[in-house]
Structure 1
Amino acid sequence: MTSETLAAALGDFLSGSSSAVVIEDGGITFDLAQAKYSVLGENNKCLLHLWSAERNVVRRVLDLETKGETLRVTVQRMGQPKPTKLEICRERDRRTASAKKQARLAYRRVLERALGRKFPDLTLVQLNTSMDLEKSFGPIYARGLLRRGQSGFAVLAVNRQELQSSIDSSLTFGILWLDVCRQAHAGKMVVEGLKLIVPTKCSELVRARMAHLNPSAAKWQLYELDERSDEITEVEVFDRGNISTRLIRCADESEVERRFAEPIALVRTLMPEAETAQLSSAEVAFRCHGLEFARARLTAKPGNFRSEPEIVFGLGAEERVLDGANFANLERLVRSIGEARHAEGPRDNRFWRLHPERWLESLVVKNICALNDGLDRRWCYSQVPAFSASDRAMIDVLTAARTGRLAVVELKADEDIHLPLQGIDYWSRVAWHHARGEFQKFGYFAGRELSAESPLLMMVAPSLRVHPATDTLLRYISPEIEWVLLGIDERWREKLRVVFTKRPETIQLRTAV
């Protein structure tokens, strides 16, 4: 393969691998959900440049081999004559199907022993990991029922070898399993609540979510299992204490526009309708209906103590610094996006299909009152950073009603079973910062008096793409969270319009009896 064909093949694979990981020397070196890359094929060399906040590497690419969802790359490190291998894996859990099955069977035996020791007065009447797609259950979670006489507890557990994202999602499936158990044993047994078991030191997000479930609807119990000692330890759920979250200061809009006036003007000559998003006081993003194609950022120039703006462009993790030699590439990219990314655009075009949630978000920000005419269009922030120790969460849209009450808007363009509990995540962070008056301290809602009321949680999705399990999950949310589920017209790219509304009073709770 020539350097040009290597670069093209590598670029094609990476463009469809926004959540992939790069593995070198047996360990994950880059997570493309956060890292950046560039591919250059010229002068008879194909160079792969990868960088993140932690490291920066350049590898010369010699050969490529695709195996399933993994690209094996033969590379040469600078100054080292002997080639080595790195892998770009779209599938983060690289275990074989048989290895996963064996690990889950072994965990099931550990779990049975541990449950018997921890709850000697309860009888484990069933425990399985079988697939049940009708009820949204897969083999990742062990599901069972602990019984004593005419009462019992639903049990759901997940082992340490599963991905952290699967552990974080366990509460969603725990609630659904509790509901299944209550339906199956209605009139025969009182299923009092849920015992959810996760690996040691992996319960932070699950605990935060469980704290906002309705304690009157079920007994919510969270445990950590040490698989080496078979010891189960209970985790205190409703003692919320300090929430591990921090807010990022809102940039001064006029100052940022002044600082980046030249890059903004340049991009607007290529795409007058481009959206400008202020990421920080030192960086702005350029988007077309939510699809980011370039950024301008301050950078130090050699021999100059002053920072000057530079433009980088590309989709996803791909990034190139704009210069005279590649300006035509930026022009082609902008033209291609503009021709496809509009409501009447070709639906088979990747620019039309990419990041539908960001597209929806851009329309909501422009017309927030289409969701509810009680919202104040003057105050609308998108992608608000509210980071915790375990993630870098972005609140889709933060706005306020005309009464001054905050509203957290969680958006989904496609069916997502986790919508309600992800909404809880963002609501709890906003409520925490709001109770301490931090939004205005950090430059949000400047000059606007905010109501002391707790925020409203608004969950928005196309009407035919609301997951069937959503109503079940919403039944168990704490009454302290006032929420509303809005189903919008499937043709939302053409016009944003609400076609149905659900509130807590419209959904009946299934109790323990």
Structure 2
Amino acid sequence: MISDLARARYDIAAFLTRRSEWMCRLDSGPPMWMREEQISVSLEFGKLILTLWGEEFSECWRIEAYEIRGERLILRLGRQPGRVATLEIASGESMGEEAAAARRRAFADTLRHLIERELGARVEYVATHRDDARHLSGIYTRLVLARGGERAIAIAVNSGEPQAHVDGVVTAGLLWWECATNSPHGAEARRLMFFAPCGRAATIARRLTILRRDGPRLELYEVDQARGALIAATPFDQGTLFDPRQMRLPRPVVELPRHPLRDRALALAPGLLRVARRPGSAVESLRLRGLEIARLSRNRFLFGVGT
């Protein structure tokens, strides 16, 4: 019970003035947005009363206890004997972070069961908390697995994350590998495993092909939560599509007359700058490793990328 009702009313009212809108959730119900003026706290007949109202509803509750945690207010409410409810009032960002954290914890539990069932491995360590001291994000699920006498380091990202976070699992995995292999949990690990949402791992597969061959053995799995399955994916690249030797077209060699402005520009980086002129054009393009950085037109030199 609240011993100092006046102090409690002041604390709650001061909290509500921090924002003009709040996200409210009663027990485990859906969250709803409410404006500051739709929430009031008053002292009536020796009781602290909370009133909520909107276009289609109006609620009155007796406040039995309260707690303020940063940008979150938690109220224990009573209306009739034996009927108690919990109301959470928080900023949208705070409630969104809490929902994301709950989603990540649930995914970690699901993934642990899938790994044990599908891969026959034992999960020795699993974590989703943020660790700033070791630069480990709370976005990803970090695991240490054991199968037989072999250990593996694993990292996973759930389907509720944006694509940028999914693609970033490679960097997060390398950081986790360095931390885990320097700890008793994964000192003897030889494999680094990545788990990504089904159908969203193409960028990860390409990025894994450029990692050093003398590092850990890499494995990539897609997580199909709907079917409850792990699907092995092979890291791949685009072959010769990105080989510049296959894309370089022969250009006719044209002897250009000497020009003092061009000669001075070429002298800035001898051997690195090239001059090109399109057929039928009097404009010359000055390029650094293929990137146009300047154009020469008659007696004017214009500098700038893509001038």
TM-score, normalised to structure 1, is 0.31
Bigger radius of gyration: 2
Greater relative contact order (Cα 8 A, min sep 6): structure 1 or 2? 1
